[in-house]
Amino acid sequence: MESRSRAYRRSPTIGLVIGLLVTLAAVLADSWYITQQVAGLRALQTDLADRSRKDSLQLLRIQNDLNLVALAMRDMIDNDERYPLTAWRAQLDRVRLDLADALRREEIVAVARRSPEQRRFLGDSVTQFWNAVDRMFAMARDGHEAEARAQIRLSLLARQAALTTAVARQLVENNESEEQTAARVEGIYRNVQSQVYLFLGATLAAIILASASVIRGNRRLFAELAALSEKRHELAQQLIATREATFAEIARELHDEFGQILTAMGSMLGRAGKQAPEGSPLRAELREVCEIAQTTLDNVRRLSQTLHPSILDDAGLDEALDWYVSNANRQLGLTVAFERSGPPVRLDKEVSIHVYRIVQEALSNVSRHSGIAEARIRLQATDAGLEIEVEDHGSGLDATTERRGLGMLTMRERAELLGGTMEFLRPAGGGTLVRLRVPIQAFAV
């Protein structure tokens, strides 16, 4: 049972910290993963887009060079052309150098996936084409112009057309590669999106679990606080009831026992004084002792009324407050004005004693802390209940006194026992205003 009680009171802080760390770790890990994926995707997009653009430019450059070669060869076989074939050698050499550079650059930036045979095909075809061109110029240089033109017409133009077709095919493959790249990027986007959804789901699950743990811990703590508050409320009620019962018993003992004894002593001293000779010192001393006994009897009765005023049980709260106000100057050194408004109400005995004690403690605080000798009590009965105010315009109560004063704590406890409210305010003119509100439910029928 003890171990279960300790487990029940165990703080949820460790579990909450672990849940927080797990959630933070999940957030950091998934954030790092998403950052890496997005960074890789951005780099891939940038690299592929740049390479595809450069590859397309080089292929177009190759295609343009091949078209220049085709135009030159058509001019070479034109019957109206009067220039020898060797006159085009310099032009074709320039095209040859540019074409070689374009092929080299295209091989570096090529995006489309090609087999080694495919990569060698274009270069080998171009090499074979230029070899054929060299042989054609050699024939023309040797004086065989007709055979050289025939070779251009029958072989070189066909080779140039094949090369142009191959370059066009590579442009098509380049476009297909761009589409494949776009598909890959879309796949990465979908993967990142699914990871984000998974992360959000995991994070929400962690938050829900942590929130459930917090709610469970708070419910447990609030249940314990409610139980402790209920126990404190019961204990305060028992202590106050015990205190009032003790005061009532002491007041009864003072009034009945000591009062009767002092009354009997006064009677006996009075009879003894009458028996003493007139004008004798003994008679004067007995009269003085009788006066002391009477003064002591008055003090005992006043102390009895202070501990538990019997007038409260006999005549009610209004009369008890009237009596207490009339004796406030002698007991507390205060001049108290008592104002009452509203219809008369009949309060339960326990309610009356609590209200009386609250007023008694409030006037006692005025006497001790306000620094003035005047106070005002206002009692107002309404349909909602009873409202009592004790006001002074002295120095007022500071926060420390309000927090730590035992009398004020007792006043709050008594108000709570009545189901009412207790307020300590500062009126506009300075000082302190103590306001008690007692609901109608506390009244006796």
- Tokens 């009458």 belong to 274
- Residue 184 reports pLDDT greater than 80: no
Q: Tell me, what's the pLDDT at 443?
A: 62
Angle value at C-alpha 126, between 123 and 132, nearest 5 degrees = 140
- Residue 87 reports pLDDT greater than 60: yes
Q: Which residue has the higher pLDDT, 241 or 88?
A: 88
- Tokens 């052309």 belong to 81
Stretch among 73-77, 213-217, 317-321 having the lowest mean pLDDT: 213-217
Whole-angstrom CA distances from 134 to 75, 143, 221 are: 17, 14, 98
Stretch among 52-56, 132-136, 200-204, 274-278 having the lowest mean pLDDT: 274-278
Candidates 128, 150, 123, 139; CA nearest to 89 is 139
pLDDT (mean) for 101-107: 83
pLDDT (tens digit per residue) in 372-425: 888 888 988 887 788 888 988 887 765 445 444 677 888 888 888 888 888 888
> Strand 374-381 relative to strand 385-392: parallel, antiparallel, unpaired?
antiparallel
pLDDT (mean) for 86-95: 86
Q: Tell me, what's the pLDDT at 112?
A: 57
Angle value at C-alpha 62, between 59 and 67, nearest 5 degrees = 125
Q: What is the DSSP string of 215-248?
A: HHHHHHHHHHHHHHHHHHHHHHHHHHHHHHHHHH
Task: Provide CB contacts within 8 A for 22, sequence distance 6+.
Answer: 206
Stretch among 22-36, 239-253, 364-378, 391-405 having the lowest mean pLDDT: 391-405
Q: Which two tokens stand for residue 417?
A: 């026992």
Within its chain, how far is the Cα of 68 from the centroid? 74
Candidates 249, 191, 143; CA nearest to 34 is 191
Domain boundaries, the chain: 2-216, 309-442
Give the confidence band of 3 by pLDDT, cuts at 50, 70, 90. Answer: very low
Beta bridge partners of 385: 439
Give the confidence band of 11 by pLDDT, cuts at 50, 70, 90. Answer: low
SS3 383: coil
Give the confidence band of 166 by pLDDT, cuts at 50, 70, 90. Answer: confident
C-alpha torsion sign, points 397, 398, 399, 402: negative
Give the confidence band of 255 by pLDDT, cuts at 50, 70, 90. Answer: low
Most confident region among 85-99, 255-269, 308-322 by mean pLDDT: 85-99
Contact in structure between 320 and 284 (CB atoms under 8 Å): no
What is the second-level CATH architecture of the domain 2-216?
Up-down Bundle (1.20)
Q: Tell me, what's the pLDDT at 2?
A: 42
Contact in structure between 217 and 12 (CB atoms under 8 Å): yes
Q: Which two tokens stand for residue 272?
A: 């003894």
Q: Tell me, what's the pLDDT at 115?
A: 63
- Separation of alpha carbons 164 and 71, rounded Å: 13
b vs e for 219-249, b when ≥16 Cβ sit within 10 Å of the residue's Cβ? eeeeeeeeeeeeeeeeebeeebeeebeebbe
- Separation of alpha carbons 78 and 149, rounded Å: 9
Q: What is the DSSP string of 401-430?
A: HHHH-HHHHHHHHHHHHTT-EEEEE--TTS
Q: Which residue has the higher pLDDT, 48 or 146?
A: 146
SS3 12: coil
Give the confidence band of 243 by pLDDT, cuts at 50, 70, 90. Answer: confident
Candidates 103, 109, 108; CA nearest to 50 is 109
pLDDT (tens digit per residue) in 313-372: 777 778 888 888 887 777 778 888 888 888 777 777 778 888 888 888 888 888 888 888
Q: What is the mean pLDDT of the chain?
A: 77
Q: Tell me, what's the pLDDT at 305?
A: 67
Q: Tell me, what's the pLDDT at 15?
A: 64
**309-442: CATH topology:** Heat Shock Protein 90 (3.30.565)
- Percent composition of the chain: helix, strand, coil (DSSP 3-state, to 5): 80, 10, 15
Stretch among 77-81, 181-185, 368-372, 434-438 having the lowest mean pLDDT: 77-81
Q: Tell me, what's the pLDDT at 113?
A: 58
- Tokens 């077709």 belong to 165
Whole-angstrom CA distances from 231 to 65, 227, 237, 238 are: 100, 6, 10, 10
Using CB atoms within 10 A of its CB, is residue 218 exposed (0-12), middle (13-18) or buried (19+)?
exposed
Alpha-carbon torsion angle 177, 179, 184, 190, nearest 10: 180
Give the confidence band of 285 by pLDDT, cuts at 50, 70, 90. Answer: confident
Q: Tell me, what's the pLDDT at 6?
A: 46
